[in-house]
Structure 1
Amino acid sequence: MSSTSALASSSASSLVGASSSSSISSSSPSSSTPPSTASPPQKKKLVGWQHSAAGSLGGMTGAIVTSPFDVVKTRLQSDLFRHSVQPLKDTAKAVTARTGISGTLWQFVDTVYLIRRIGVEEGWKALYKGLGPSLVGIIPARAINFYFYPTSKAYLAKQFPNAPTEKAGQTAEDSPLIHLSAAVIAGIMTSTGTNPIWVVKTRLQLSARKKPPGIPSASIPATSSLLPKTIANSVAALAQSTSASTSTVATSTAASAAAPAATRASVSPALAMTMDIIRKEGIVGLYRGLSASYLGVSEGVIQWVLYERFKRIGKTTTSSLDQQSLLSYVGSIVGASGGAKAVASLITYPHEVIRTRLRQPAINGVVKYNGLLQTLRLVMKEEGVASLYGGLTAHMFRVVPNAACMFLIYELVAGKLTAAA
């Protein structure tokens, strides 16, 4: 009797325990986290190729829109279009020194006037010289940059989870140190992979050819005008650009005449220029200016770090297009990207001039610029420090709207890809 009672008591006890265990397990979520502290579902992140696709599309659009300013900027950075013909002494005396705000305004006039001059002397298609190589270069450049930056940021955040952040509650991916390191990696990879393309593009943009004689053009002699020295030099150089055209351009023109119409405008000249560089300078010639490009990595670093900061200020890192008005969203992205690019460009602009000089073709078989420090010293000695900012206005006209357009399209495409995932 006692054994039966004990057995019944044991069975009841086990049933109660099982019921209690079942009740506990049914009330708890699938994870071990209590319901009150369970984290909300995380937004799905894009994989590397999706970042690349969005960045490439944005970069390509920006390059097309701002191509004329890119041509003008390259020519103003080069001494081939600034010192070919010296103005008369009377003209030089009539032109007063312009510095500060006045100098900036005259750079604006110089930019607009040179755009018009190129259109008159060479045809408006000349404002899109080098666009073919630019588009060929933009796609891999932006693909590489937008691939390595987010993936490097995620990788470094995993490797250094305790990276310093600005506010409590932020993750390692919000750390400025992680942003800086990821931007350095992305910049180095981009510069190394795309330098040959930019060398070809620069050479094409520095090749000036006047329109055929049958087409009328409004010529303004530099020697009889009272224009600022920079404008007078640019006009005079363009007016005599036929004699300065290289045999490379003639070769590429002949090749383009025989090429199909679809590829004649861009592919053939770029291919001819590439082969000419390899034949005359070897493979090394395609990597001229690489040291200056590495120096320019600092611009990309500053741009990415500031973009992340400005986005956070504008509260666009946690807000999507569906959560705010289109105008507010576009304004926040454009402001963050354009502002970041403007600051980064102003700080690091001299490297652009040095890089352009290093990529110039040889004159009468002589390479004038052959090193980073040598170029810096020579430019400062012959032309002064102000020449390190030649073409700055045209550059800003190009890169700020380019960056705004590129990042806006990137964010929109990335948002759509995230929603579709």
Structure 2
Amino acid sequence: MSTPTPKPYRPPSFLPSPVLDHASAGLVAGCIATLFTHPLDLLRTRFQVSSTPITGGPGRAILSSLGGIKARDGWKGLYRGLGPNLVGNIAGWGLYFMWYELLKRRIAARDPDSVHAAEGGGREVRLSPGGYLLASAQASALTAVMTNPLWVVRVRIFTSRPGDAHDYGTLHRGLYRIARTEGLRGLYRGSTFALIGISNGALQFMAYEELKQLGFELKRRRYERAGREWREGGEKLSNIEYILMSATSKLVALATTYPYQVIRARLQSNNPEYPNIPTILRLTYAQSGLRGFYRGLATNMIRVLPATCITFVVYENVAWALRRHFAV
């Protein structure tokens, strides 16, 4: 007599749709990660835009630059541009996870390799690597189009100083000034290149989802060896595992796609030295060779890895809490 297949675990969602649970978790994760890592984000953007050679190792350059900003502008200078950066990351992560969950479910409906596990009113979806890559690329593209104006203002504020003639001040003032002086084209400056760069998020999430599936499979086997019941969709991994998986997936994506970030930052900075992509490519190579396209990479890794780990750990825990502990 065959053993009946156990029914998948079906936890309820806190909000009307599980998709909204994931979007809310993304909002919280984006907020917390930005508050912790903003000074390094400010520094990374300035390194990308600058053509001055970085002396010393990345650690020394970071400490020296942070100290210089504090000496000139005080502690407030280290959090210059926090408003647009906070709004951009909150909106970006919230929108991204919303689109990502919606697209995963749509792809799962026609992906023969997917596994559906109903959870309340939604579904726990497992896709093929190609399915994750497609969902992440589409979610990244939609989010990039919707948030590009916020990133343009952020770069302008990051690369100017208070009181300068080119000081963009606040998010609202920056958006108004760019719209008035440069029009819609100014607000979407660098958007074409941002769309090219969606490969970063796509590669990262594909790698992360595959590592997460591997983590769940290893945990399932441990449960079986211990004689414990395994409920599909009803378990979570440890925070250490989420940290290792998010860091590994980000390193893979970052090493592959970093040059586009340098070019996009220079294009969005409104520096007359960098009017278009061909000029940026030519000048960057002439000034620094291939190393110029990886300018600020070490700083970016130091900034991005903590931000990535914080984002994913907070996201996974908030999504889990909404699903398990606060649902009604």
TM tier relative to shorter chain:
0.7 to 0.9
Within the candidate set 273, 276, 292, 1:371 is matched to 276
CA distance in 2, matches of 1:247, 1:283: 22
1:125 aligns with 2:30: no
Within the candidate set 59, 67, 79, 1:108 is matched to 59
Q: What residue number does 1:26 align with?
A: none
Amino acid at match of 1:68: P
For the 8 Å contact 1:111–1:391, the answer to whether it is kept is no
**1:128/1:297 CA distance change after superposition, 3 Å:** same
Question: CA offset at residue 112 of structure 1?
Answer: 1.6
Q: What residue number does 2:121 align with?
A: none
**1:246/1:173 CA distance change after superposition, 3 Å:** same
> CA offsets per residue over residues 43-76 of structure 1, 9 Å max, x none?
3475211110001101110011000101111111
- Structure 1, unmatched stretches of 5+, are 1-33, 84-97, 165-170, 210-244, 253-268
CA distance in 1, matches of 2:87, 2:278: 30
Q: What residue number does 2:39 align with?
A: 68
CA distance in 2, matches of 1:44, 1:158: 21
Q: What residue number does 1:301 align with?
A: 202
Q: What residue number does 1:345 align with?
A: 254
For the 8 Å contact 2:152–2:268, the answer to whether it is kept is yes
For the 8 Å contact 2:39–2:79, the answer to whether it is kept is yes
CA distance in 2, matches of 1:45, 1:297: 32
Question: CA offset at residue 248 of structure 1?
Answer: 3.6
Question: CA offset at residue 368 of structure 1?
Answer: 3.1
For the 8 Å contact 1:191–1:293, the answer to whether it is kept is yes
For the 8 Å contact 1:163–1:177, the answer to whether it is kept is no
CA distance in 1, matches of 2:110, 2:204: 24
Amino acid at match of 2:261: E
Q: What residue number does 2:226 align with?
A: none
For the 8 Å contact 1:341–1:400, the answer to whether it is kept is yes
For the 8 Å contact 2:10–2:234, the answer to whether it is kept is no
Q: What residue number does 2:287 align with?
A: 382
Question: CA offset at residue 409 of structure 1?
Answer: 0.9
User: After the TM superposition, which residues 198-209 of structure 1 pair with which residues of structure 2 at under 5 Å, given as runs?
Assistant: 198-209=151-162
Amino acid at match of 1:122: D
Q: What residue number does 2:141 align with?
A: 188
Within the candidate set 23, 38, 57, 1:52 is matched to 23
Q: What residue number does 2:317 align with?
A: 412
Question: CA offset at residue 138 of structure 1?
Answer: 1.5
Question: CA offset at residue 334 of structure 1?
Answer: 0.8
CA distance in 2, matches of 1:276, 1:172: 44
Question: CA offset at residue 416 of structure 1?
Answer: 1.2
Q: What residue number does 1:285 align with?
A: 186
Amino acid at match of 1:156: I
Number of aligned residues: 303
Amino acid at match of 1:70: D
CA distance in 2, matches of 1:45, 1:174: 22
Q: What residue number does 2:303 align with?
A: 398
Q: What residue number does 2:227 align with?
A: none
CA distance in 1, matches of 2:103, 2:280: 33
CA distance in 2, matches of 1:195, 1:51: 22
CA distance in 2, matches of 1:78, 1:303: 24
CA distance in 2, matches of 1:45, 1:194: 31
1:142 aligns with 2:97: no
For the 8 Å contact 1:163–1:172, the answer to whether it is kept is yes
1:161 aligns with 2:66: no
Question: CA offset at residue 296 of structure 1?
Answer: 1.6
Amino acid at match of 1:120: A
Shifted more, 123-132 versus 270-279: the winner is 270-279
Please give the secondary structure, in 1, of the residue aligned with 2:299.
helix
Who wins on radius of gyration, i.e. which is larger? 1
CA distance in 1, matches of 2:192, 2:181: 21
CA distance in 2, matches of 1:294, 1:371: 16
Report percent identity of matched pairs. 30
For the 8 Å contact 2:21–2:323, the answer to whether it is kept is no
Shifted more, 344-353 versus 45-54: the winner is 45-54
Question: CA offset at residue 163 of structure 1?
Answer: 6.6
CA distance in 1, matches of 2:75, 2:176: 27
| TM-score (structure 2 length as normaliser) | 0.84
Question: CA offset at residue 131 of structure 1?
Answer: 1.0
RMSD across aligned positions (CA): 2.8
| TM-score (structure 1 length as normaliser) | 0.66
CA distance in 2, matches of 1:288, 1:396: 25
For the 8 Å contact 1:330–1:408, the answer to whether it is kept is yes
